Structure 1
Amino acid sequence: MSFRDKTVLITGASSGIGREFAVQLAKQGANLIITARSEGELESLAASLQASHSNIWVKVVPLDLLQADSVKTLYSTIESMNLSVDYLINNAGFGKFCEFTAEGFDTYQKMLTLNINALSELSYVFLPHMKAQNAGGIINVASIGSFQPLPYQAVYGASKAYVLSFSEALSGELLDSNVHVMALCPGTTESNFMTNANADTSKMNLMPASEVVSGALSAFAKRRHYVISGRINYLVSLVPRIVTRLKTIKIVASMFKESVLKKQGA
């Protein structure tokens, strides 16, 4: 699989995993459309990538996917540039580490809008071109939390379980084509995500975003329908297959209870 001269749309591209996708795909000769809320960071990234790789172009589309009709706006903006998207990387999303009722419900509404609705709509509007060309694909960023309930991250975990299920279902519909869909399931990663999630990372081993992305691109080239970042995370994902669901819930709850409640000041 080659990304050279292909057009890749990356959401949440201003930092973390999204930014690293942009960096590594630029090295592979991909042309990029990068979007996020942070226009300054996007412009800086675009300038850096184009200075380092004279054979590519990078288009910046500042956008808040939480806003109504934002996906339609993004799609029409790309159309107005006379461009089409060969590959889509649905990376934009966020979570919160907290006891469920300790966060305002409006935060959860935004989380579901971004993690589920926007990701699904972006797939819906850009997939037809890929199918017509019988080429391209989508990488949806899920989570290691897709494989089990996440006490103290209840809504986030549920939203990422959706992403995994949705991605695998689409990959099943496309088995007889050259269009491929994959779910990327990272664990704790070096990014702004953990800070924005109000997570206590003092006892966490954070995986570099560069390793997460390189592993994802390798797995995507092999047409994997999902990939888990890191050997330890893979082993963690097997826990629900080994013990009862109740035991799984207790294990995960004990992992996060003390650090989350301490962070909340409870």
Structure 2
Amino acid sequence: MEFNNGTALITGASGGIGEEFAVQLAGRGANLVLVARRADKLAQLHDTLVGKHPDITVDVIAEDLAVPGSGAELENKVRDLGRTIDVLVNNAGVGLHSKFVDQAPEPNAAQIQLNCGTLVDLTARYLPAMTQRGRGVVINVASTASFQPTPGMAVYGATKAFVLSFTEALWQECRGTGVKVLALCPGATETEFFERTGEDFLTDGRQTARQVVGTALGALDRSGPTVVSGWKNSLLASGYRVTPRRLMLAVSERLLKSAN
């Protein structure tokens, strides 16, 4: 798929999968609007990308998308820059790793807002114009946690199941419009995600962000609504569909146990 001279808005772009989306899309000639909380990390990434690709435009916006109303603020800032968004990558997300009863209400509310609320809000703000133009891309980053409940990360798994369901429905609604919609479902990936949860788990078989993003961009040339990154992850995701629910819950809980 061609990205040259288009503009991609990437959330959670200061590291991990979001940063890798920026790197690979810049390599394909896309202009970028990079969004994350950490202004210093965004500035470093801006300088790196512009130095390597002087023909593209890279804008950075520091914004906490876990705050209600942040989607509207971000849209205003993008409008002030004069950018038309051709590609939306809803990558920003967070997870809490512990039993639900041990979690405070406020971080979970922020998790739901970021993983679901702002994702839907930004999609609502940019998808209609894409369909009117008859072209565009929306990539929503879900997870292999989308396919089954996740004891130990109960809210995170539920938010990612929401993202998967929402995105697959959009894929069907957008058929014939010229807009490509994709749910990307990575498994464990070498990013800062695990560090931020404060726990070490799913330590075996982690993919790199480069592998995950390469899978996503390659899937845009195919016709399905969802792509799971990595054959082992694909096999596991498929297996959950035929596994008895009680067994599935036990297996999922065991997989998410802390390695400490």
On whether the aligned pair clears a TM of 0.5, the verdict is: yes
Report SS of the residue matched to 2:256. helix
> Which residue matches 1:37?
37
> Which residue matches 1:174?
174
| Cα distance per residue 1:146-191 (max 9 Å; x no partner) | 0011010100000000000000000110112110111000000011
- Asked if structure 2 preserves the Cα contact closer than 8 Å seen for 1:7 and 1:86, the reply is yes
Within 5 Å, which residues of 2 pair with 1:1-266? 1-201=1-201, 203-257=203-257, 259=258, 263=260
Tell me how far apart the structure 2 counterparts of residues 37 and 81 of structure 1 sit (CA, whole Å). 18
- Asked if structure 1 preserves the Cα contact closer than 8 Å seen for 2:167 and 2:182, the reply is yes
Tell me how far apart the structure 2 counterparts of residues 121 and 229 of structure 1 sit (CA, whole Å). 26
Tell me how far apart the structure 2 counterparts of residues 173 and 160 of structure 1 sit (CA, whole Å). 20
Query: Mind listing any 5+ residue stretches in structure 1 that lack a counterpart?
Result: none
- Asked if structure 2 preserves the Cα contact closer than 8 Å seen for 1:239 and 1:248, the reply is no
Measured after TM superposition, the shift of residue 78 of structure 1 is 1.1
Q: Which amino acid aligns with 1:109?
A: A
Report SS of the residue matched to 1:221. coil
Measured after TM superposition, the shift of residue 251 of structure 1 is 1.2
Runs of 4+ in 1 over 3 A off after TM superposition: none
Tell me how far apart the structure 2 counterparts of residues 36 and 230 of structure 1 sit (CA, whole Å). 27
Tell me how far apart the structure 1 counterparts of residues 6 and 177 of structure 2 sit (CA, whole Å). 18
| Cα distance per residue 1:92-138 (max 9 Å; x no partner) | 01001111111111111010000000000000001111011010010
Tell me how far apart the structure 1 counterparts of residues 199 and 230 of structure 2 sit (CA, whole Å). 20
Tell me how far apart the structure 2 counterparts of residues 30 and 119 of structure 1 sit (CA, whole Å). 21
Tell me how far apart the structure 2 counterparts of residues 34 and 221 of structure 1 sit (CA, whole Å). 24
Tell me how far apart the structure 2 counterparts of residues 202 and 162 of structure 1 sit (CA, whole Å). 22
- Asked if structure 2 preserves the Cα contact closer than 8 Å seen for 1:13 and 1:36, the reply is yes
Deviates more, 1:93-102 or 1:62-71: 62-71
Report SS of the residue matched to 2:82. coil
TM-score, with structure 2 as normaliser? 0.97
Tell me how far apart the structure 2 counterparts of residues 80 and 153 of structure 1 sit (CA, whole Å). 38
TM-score, with structure 1 as normaliser? 0.95
Measured after TM superposition, the shift of residue 18 of structure 1 is 0.1
- Between the two proteins, the alignment pairs up a number of residues equal to 260
Measured after TM superposition, the shift of residue 205 of structure 1 is 2.3
- Asked if structure 2 preserves the Cα contact closer than 8 Å seen for 1:96 and 1:199, the reply is no
Report SS of the residue matched to 2:241. helix
Q: Which amino acid aligns with 1:169?
A: A
Measured after TM superposition, the shift of residue 70 of structure 1 is 1.2
- Asked if structure 1 preserves the Cα contact closer than 8 Å seen for 2:68 and 2:113, the reply is no
Cα RMSD, aligned residues only: 1.3
Q: Which amino acid aligns with 1:147?
A: F
